[in-house]
Structure 1
Amino acid sequence: MSNPLLDFSAQIPFDRITPADVAPAVDQLLARADAALASVTAPDFPAQWGSIARVLDVATEELGRAWGAVSHLNSVADTPELRAAYNAALPRVTEFWTRLGADERLYAKYKAIDPATLNAEQRQARSNAMRNFVLSGAELQGAAKERFAAIQERQAELQQKFSENALDATDAYAYYASAEEIEGLPADVMQAARAAAEGEGKQGYKLTLKMPCYLPVMQFAKSNTLREKLYRAYVTRASDQAEGDAKRFDNSAVMTEILALRREEAQLLGYENFGQVSLVPKMAHTPEQVTHFLRDLAQRARPFAEKDVADLRAFAAEQLGLQDPQAWDWPYISEQLKEARYAFSEQELKQYFTAPKVLAGLFKIVETLFEVAIRRDQAPVWNEAVEFYRIERDGKLVGQFYLDQPARAGKRGGAWMDDARARWLRPDTGRLQTPVAYLVCNFAQGVDGKPPLLTHDDVITLFHEFGHGLHHMLTHVNERDVSGISGVEWDAVELPSQFMENFCWEWEVLKHLTAHVDSGAPLPRALYDKMIAAKNYQAGMQTLRQIEFALFDMLLHTEHEPQGDLLALLARVRAEVAVLKPPAFSRTAHTFSHIFAGGYAAGYYSYKWAEVLSADAYAAFEETTGADGVPSLETGRRYRQAILEAGGSRPAMESFKAFRGREPTLDALLRHQGMA
């Protein structure tokens, strides 16, 4: 027990873990897991759920928990030593999980388990496991099995190559602009561009295709010549249209081979196309269901998108003297119109959102709606800024969470929720293991002795991640693989997180979340009204843009022939749904990393799908809120029991219907986005 990664007795001893602990802990845990796998797959081992769980699940849970702690530290407290230890162990851990997923002896044991001996949670977990074995190639034999493994390996290489090309093409570009050319840029962007040029001993201002530079140029630079120059470079990255030497990063052949391998993988598994494979573990059942959903939403959003464009054209002609705007003009026109129409600054708003006040307000909502108590708690942490809390109901522990809010060196950007430990009625001890979550953000730190200030986007982020945390911690499910967020369909897992975001726009909520950093005064109603007025600015255009990506993705993985012209398909999708068409040289698909290098192949629609669920779920609260603006406790209880407590123990649609009494509709989403 001298190795802290092997201590599973209480909370993870983060104050004692060192990079030197990683390799010996992984050695020991992999050996245990391998021995457990050998034991349960022996011919004489009984095909019984509890027997397999007591041996294999206990060993793999401990491996997962220890490796999870190492991965977490790698994200929030990175050092050269820890990174080296993590990268050295990663291939071995990955190899074990891959081998476990395709083990036909283990698959045979699960098949042989009598479902009549299982409770409902165990039946759902077994059903998921059987499905995952099939999708991992466990049913394939001989040459087909070898080919399937080779396809996985080649796809991993190609996806990495796609990412590298996209990154290298972005990094390779620079333009050194004069002071006249960058007129209109925000002061901080100018300063950064000037410093970047000086750092290279060059004159002028270094402009790149990185988002913190590229986007402000498109939005604020008065020179349309400059905007055109950067736009052309940006939309031709990693393609045959790139200029000169940058053509070496062309992703065209990589994309074609990835699509061909996905089609072959699908056919080895007995499906016609990869779209069908992708949807097996999701809420949507068929590619046709997804395309119908996207087209229906596009049809409803179109009138609003067309009005957005008409407003932009009129403003461009009357106020900016632009009679025929081009692709590189639209972001600039949009920004000018937004400032003219709404006249408020994020900087002004931010003074009212102090981190302690926002957190106290968030806790108050959760405690009231979900009938729990949140208290400070004690546990070893990886940084002094990390707080640890416990959630109780009726005086009993329900779950715990680490909250790591501030940005700092050695911490990955962005925000996320991850599970440190799942709720599980342990088969080895018979005791209930309560869930623990990591909630991580990257907010600014306080200055001059004042509390940290959050932007409204930061507030939304905190509520979003806390929604994921509630899904993980408030579960009542005792079976590890379907408790909390485990086993929840990919296109439904964002429901509880997007649901919580809605509270950030409610006046009754914001009154209690805000206090001016100097005066302590709550958010003024006039400033709130401006914020609400700007909430749905260009919602129609933004919706069609997301649908364009999602429909292209699904058709690419169903109707499209891998060797065919995917640009022709993209043009066809744009002709159907887009209100603004890019120029012929645009090659945005060549950097569409979500589907070519991420987990979203034939799954990009998930963003919109989950938004429909969360908006409709929130509408139940709007329908039952009293005249005083206080949400109904009865509705909160029903939501908690039907959605949060059920976790992944049943299909997401069943949980949704248990809460709403019907299937979801688009109405609430359209209303929330001003498109009703």
Structure 2
Amino acid sequence: LDELESETTASWRKVVEPLELLYDSFDRVTSVFELLAAVNQTSEMEAAAGRGMALARGFARRLQLSTALYTLLKRIRWHPTTWLQHTHKQVQALDYWIGKMEKGGVNLPFWHASSKIATFRRLDEEEAELKRKFADNVRQGTAAFHLTLRDGQHLRGVPHSTLAAMAAAARHRNLTYSASSPGAIYPPISDPPLDGAAPTSEWGPWTVTFDPWVYDSMMAYCPTRRIRQLLYQSYESRASQAPWDNVPVMERLLQVRRSRANLLDSASYPDLAGRRRTSSSNNAKEWLDQMLTPVASAAVRLVLRMVRLMVESEARGVDVWGSMHKSNDLQSVSATGKRLFIRRTKDLSLRKVAKFVSYPVYLASFAVPVRRSARPRVNMKILRWAERMLRNTTFSQPDCVSLLASATTSFRPWDAFYWGRLAFSKESLVQHGVAPDEIRNYFTLSRVLSGAFGLFNRLWGIHVVESDDDKPPVWHPDVKHYQLFNGSDLLGSFFFDPFARPNKLSVPFTQTLVKRSEAHSSTSVRTPIVIVSTYIQNPELGEAALLQLKDVQDVFHELGHVIQNLLNRVDEVLIAGTTILSLDFLEMFSQFYELWATDECV
């Protein structure tokens, strides 16, 4: 960088080509570092990541605030013969980097003042630390929660794979079976184990964690409403109480971003961030407001179908509203549900109430029964009227809220997961003759990949080849490597890390590891390499990996990002891939490709 800043000849060969090699080397190192931190989120890796990213931010900041480099780039860009000597992509690269440096503050008039420079750097560093702290609080709060259940009656209907995962979590904590504890499978398929035996999927105990597929499965299949409520509120508040409270972190982050935007001559942070978007924040809000009416109406239609199913189930004696059980282990839930203090390591035991007891909308404590409700949970007259009106009509969002509140005030978010699954299953049986849970048996990972790769060929005439003998080094044995070809031409390659693991980032993501570039060779173009990571439940030894519909959609979504990166033909490494794509378009292609996952022809 020192040599680049001392250059006096403002030309593409003397300035931009060295910048391409310099920034590409930096980008490749940091990309590998970020990848390893995402797939192995340990305390050691976190400490190393903190030190490494601090160095990376220092270099990136110096590069972005280099007035000498900025002056050279502007001289090249605004030279009278620029359009004659450079390609359109080269001019785009110049415009992008000049704009990037200006957004970083290199051209503001106050940069001669050292105090202003110091303030900007301090805010930049503090913002990075706050974002790291936020993510760390969420990660630690998520990992800290575990709830042990010993009564299998509350788990009847939960998939066997989830029961097995929760039993494994209980074994990991050295818990043992207690004699006479009911099993989760009825009628039982095996005899109860001896007192003190290791946990099993049928007889427990079962430890619930916030692993995504365990949490999602419990919310969708656990028949006991109080357990679902506890899990939901604990999950939503996992980073909003000490020692992982993100409330002050968010408040300070808003202040820092506002101050940083003001230093860069922007009225607000949304205005600053909006420079890489296709529309202003005000226009985006107007568009969202236009979408609110049809979306709210569709949401209420779905909720009313769930409420209808709840009413029908209650008539058959099902404990729909969770009024037949109570527990002294659920503590201190505020009326707003914003803060929830629970004994995370305590076993949870629910006992039946002697007679039907109704509870008000908000509870100060689950342990204390209160007065009997004066009216039924659901106003059937309004429910029927609302169902009829919403068949062919839309209402504004406030009207939708009022309409739902008139029909029932007892429906809660922890009801949506469970009853939404049942409603969808019922409709699927009527329309297709098969339940969604049974479809999973057809969604093996190999079959899903075959369908997704086959679609590549049908849409664009390209094909995927898995690397076997020539497979490059990988960070885990489960990781596969694929190459994408157009005929005999290599377009790029990608690594696929499909399965969930301890300490692995639990959300699907795609990351660029190497960008397409012609700067590294005068005779050939370097092809791009990307990483795809999903969080599919690891199959048992010798079994095929079976995917939920959401897993299938995640795979298609991330492969959409792969196509978006590998089919991009921009050879200038400074703007290759999705670098200059508007932020609000980054997800558009992958969202469209995800729709193919549920198309009948696929």
TM-score normalised by L of structure 1:
0.60
Cα displacement (A) at 1:342: 2.7
C-alpha distance after superposition, 1:643-672 (max 9, x if no partner): xxxxxxxxxxxxxxxxxxxxxxxxxxxxxx
1:185–1:216 contact (8 Å) kept in structure 2: no
Q: Output aligned runs, 1:191-590, within 5 Å.
A: 199=173, 206-207=207-208, 211-212=212-213, 214-239=215-240, 246=241, 249-283=244-278, 285-320=279-314, 323=377, 324=408, 325-327=410-412, 328-343=414-429, 344-376=434-466, 378-382=470-474, 386-393=479-486, 395-405=488-498, 412-426=505-519, 429=522, 431-443=524-536, 452-509=545-602
Q: What is the distance in 2 between the residues matched to 1:50 and 1:310? A: 66
Q: Tell whether the 8 Å contact from 2:222 to 2:418 is kept in structure 1 after alignment.
A: yes
Q: Does the 8 Å contact 1:49/1:113 carry over to 2? A: yes
* Paired residue secondary structure (2:585): coil
Residue 110 of structure 1 and its aligned partner are, at CA, apart by: 1.7
How far the C-alpha of 1:437 sits from its partner, in A, is 3.0
Instruction: Say if 2:161 is the partner of 1:186.
Output: no
For the structure 1 residues 55 and 261, does the alpha-carbon distance in structure 2 shift closer, same or farther, using more than 3 Å as the test?
A: same
Mapped to 2, the partners of 1:247 and 1:355 lie a distance apart of 40
Q: How far, CA to CA, are the matches of 1:124 and 1:435 in structure 2?
A: 20
Query: Which range moves more in the overlay, 356-365 or 82-91?
Result: 82-91
Distance 1:339 1:404, change over 3 A: closer
Change (3 A) 1:101 1:185: farther
Which residue does 1:552 correspond to in 2?
none
8 Å Cα contact 2:145-2:210 kept in structure 1 = yes
Q: Deviations over 1:205-237 (max 9, x none)?
A: 655666555545544444444444444444455
Secondary structure of the 1:398 match is strand
Q: What is the number of residues matched between the two proteins? A: 465
**Which amino acid letter does the alignment assign opposite residue 291 of structure 1?**
K
In 2, Cα distance between the equivalents of 1:114 and 1:249?
48
Match of 1:105 among 45, 68, 87: 68
Cα displacement string for residues 265-290 of structure 1 (whole angstroms, at most 9, x for unaligned residues): 1111111111101111122x211111
Instruction: Show CA shifts across 1:35-56 (max 9, x none).
Output: xx111211x5222233212322
Equivalent residue, structure 1, for 2:26: 63
CA contact (8 A) 2:428 2:436 kept: no
1:38: which partner in 2? Answer: 2
Q: 1:54–1:427: 8 Å Cα contact kept in structure 2?
A: no
Residue in structure 1 matched with residue 326 of structure 2 by the alignment? none
Structure 2 residue 114 is matched with structure 1 residue 150: no
Matched, 1:125 2:93: yes
Structural RMSD (CA): 3.7
Give the stretch that moved more between structures: 441-450 or 300-309.
441-450
Moved more, 250-259 or 470-479: 250-259
Q: Is the 8 A contact 2:303 2:416 kept in 1?
A: no
SS in 2 for 1:507: coil
Cα separation, 2, equivalents of 1:418 and 1:363:
19
Whole-angstrom CA distance in 2 between matches of 1:384 and 1:170: 26
Q: Residue 186 of structure 1 aligns to a residue in which SS?
A: coil
Instruction: Give, in whole Å, the separation in 2 of the partners of 1:164 and 1:407.
Output: 19
8 Å contact from structure 1 (residues 415, 465) kept in 2: yes
Conservation of the 8 A alpha-carbon contact between 2:77 and 2:95: no
Tell me if the contact between 1:54 and 1:428 (Cα under 8 Å) persists in the aligned partners: no
Aligned to 2:583, the other structure's residue is in SS state coil
> What SS does structure 1 have at the residue aligned with 2:511?
strand
Measure how far apart 1:308 and its partner are: 1.8
Classify 1:438/1:224 alpha carbon distance in 2 versus 1 (closer, same or farther; 3 Å).
Answer: closer
CA displacement 1:287-316 (0-9 Å, x = unmatched): 111101111111222222222232233332
Q: Gaps (5+ residues) in structure 2?
A: 179-204, 316-320, 322-376, 378-407
- How far did 1:101 drift? 1.8
User: Structure 1 residues 103, 365: CA separation in 2 closer, same or farther (over 3 Å shift)?
Assistant: same
Instruction: Give the residue type in structure 1 aligned to 2:309.
Output: F
Q: Distance in 2 between matches of 1:506 and 1:69?
A: 35
The residue type equivalent to 2:4 in the other structure is V
The 8 Å contact of residues 50 and 427 in structure 1, kept in 2 or not, is answered as: no
Looking at structure 2, the residues matched to 363 and 170 of structure 1 have their Cα atoms a distance apart, in angstroms, of 35
Counterpart residue identity of residue 120, structure 2: F
Aligned partners of 1:399, 1:156: CA distance in 2, in Å? 32
Q: Is the 8 A contact 1:468 1:496 kept in 2?
A: yes
Q: What is the rounded CA distance, in whole Å, between the counterparts of 2:132 and 2:89 in structure 1?
A: 37
Determine helix, strand or coil for the equivalent of 2:442. coil
**Which residue in 2 is equivalent to 1:139?**
107
Q: SS of 1:424's equivalent?
A: coil
**C-alpha distance 153-494 of structure 1, shift in aligned 2 (>3 A):** same
Give the Å deviation of 1:200.
6.1
Cα separation, 2, equivalents of 1:340 and 1:74: 42
In structure 2, the CA distance between the partners of 1:195 and 1:266, relative to structure 1 (3 Å rule), is same
* Residue identity in the other structure for 1:154: E
**Aligned residue type for 1:500:** Y
Which has the larger helix fraction? 1
Q: 1:270 to 1:86 in 2, by over 3 A?
A: closer
Contact 1:69/1:420, CA 8 A, preserved across alignment:
yes
Deviations 1:497-540 (A, max 9, x none): 2222222222222xxxxxxxxxxxxxxxxxxxxxxxxxxxxxxx
In structure 1, give the amino acid aligned to 2:261: A
Q: Which residue in 1 is equivalent to 2:56?
A: 93
1:66 shift after superposition: 4.2
SS in 2 for 1:320: helix
Q: What residue identity is the alignment partner of 2:117?
A: K
Contact 1:467 1:498 in 2 (8 A): yes
Classify the secondary structure of the residue corresponding to 1:401.
Answer: strand
- What amino acid maps onto 1:53 in structure 2? V
How far apart, CA to CA, are the structure 1 residues paired with 2:76 and 2:276?
21
8 Å CA contact retained: 2:64, 2:101: yes
